[in-house]
Amino acid sequence: MRKISLFLTVLCLVVLSNLAQAQDYNGFGFKAGLNFNNVKSDVDSDMRLGFHIGGYYTFEVESFKIQPGLSFVQRGAKGYVTTVYTATDVGGNILSRSEVKDGDIHMILNYLEIPVNISYKVLDFNQGNNALSIFVEPSLGFCLSGKLKYEDSSDDFEIGSDDTDDRKTINLGVKLGASVQVGKFEPYIGYDFGLNDITPSRGDMMNRGFYLGVAYNL
């Protein structure tokens, strides 16, 4: 809880200190894109496709932009269900062992996220209508729901902070990336680093993944 409070405090200080200096105002915007999700854990997993959609409010400070926002983000990962076959001799010694992949299993996690995107214009041309920017985006996420899905069946996660729960409510993260402004459109690409374990008691598991999308500034 102390880490969460400290994280929120830092976010608020960053936003407030920059808003106090803001001179140019861009207004509202919205964004949407795809996530190539995975998790960092001791268990092997593959990327799973998800999506994100949200809105933001832009404040300009010379070459900097501050964009607090609200987003829906679908994360997760993909694993496999396998059957292990062994052949033994009459003494019970294993002679051979093989694994057969029976199907994919999908972990799906849905988050409501509060990001604060802080970007810096590296190149600014065409009288400010086009620009190349790099950004860092700390975020605070709340897990709304989640499930494991295998073929036609699924099991819902219990979300909370108790040891008996399947996934934690809170997800702290930071994104690093770049964007290219073309008029009111701004395509972007980046990498999402989860900063905390999302399992209450089952070992380290952190959200990871690449993402890309397009923002539109109103």
| 175 or 155: which leads in pLDDT | 175
Domain count, the chain: 1
| 179 or 105: which leads in pLDDT | 179
Which residues make Cβ contacts (< 8 Å) with residue 180, sequence separation at least 6?
130, 131, 132, 133, 186, 187, 188
User: Is residue 90 assigned to a domain?
Assistant: no
- What is the pLDDT at residue 17? 57
For residue range 11-69, list pLDDT tens digits in order. 555 555 554 454 565 799 999 999 999 988 777 778 899 999 999 999 988 889 999 99
User: Is residue 82 assigned to a domain?
Assistant: no
Reported as a pLDDT band with limits 50, 70 and 90, residue 100 is very low
∠ at Cα 71 (63, 208), nearest 5°?
85
Q: Is pLDDT of 217 > 80? A: yes
Q: Is pLDDT of 190 > 80? A: yes
Reported as a pLDDT band with limits 50, 70 and 90, residue 151 is confident
User: Is residue 97 assigned to a domain?
Assistant: no
pTM of the model: 0.78
Each as own residue / partner, the long-range contacts of residues 151-155 (CB below 8 Å, 24 or more positions apart, any chain) are 151/103
User: Is residue 203 assigned to a domain?
Assistant: yes
Can you state the percent helix, strand and coil of the chain, rounding each to 5?
Answer: 10, 70, 20
User: Is residue 122 assigned to a domain?
Assistant: yes
Contact 210, 191 (CB under 8 A): yes
Question: What span, in angstroms and rounded, lies between the C-alpha atoms of 194 and 167?
Answer: 14
User: Is residue 99 assigned to a domain?
Assistant: no
Residue 210 belongs to what domain range?
2-77+106-217
Contact 145, 166 (CB under 8 A): no
Question: Any idea what the CATH number is for the domain that residue 30 is in?
Answer: 2.40.160.20
User: Is residue 93 assigned to a domain?
Assistant: no
User: Is residue 166 assigned to a domain?
Assistant: yes
